[in-house]
Amino acid sequence: MTAFTTLRTALKKRAAYARTKRELANVPHALAIEDLGFYTGDADKIAHKAVYG
């Protein structure tokens, strides 16, 4: 894998992480807890696990 390919992959993952984190953090609090079963304050941890494994 070339350095350019590695960088492109890292940037795509970072963008996916930021997008996922933002979307999870903006879910209404009641919906997140009652229906989806997560705390919006944990959006960064959930997004990290979803994108990076």
Average pLDDT rounded to a whole number, residues 30-36: 94
φ and ψ at residue 8, rounded to 5 degrees: -60, -40
pLDDT tens digits for 36-52?
999 999 999 999 999 99
Please give the pLDDT value at position 50: 97
Average pLDDT rounded to a whole number, residues 18-45: 95
Boundaries of domain holding 39: 3-52
Average pLDDT rounded to a whole number, residues 12-37: 96
How many domains is the chain built from? 1
DSSP 1-53: --HHHHHHHHHHHHHHHHHHHHHHHTS-HHIIIIII---GGGHHHHHHHHHH-
pLDDT at 1 exceeding the cut of 90: no
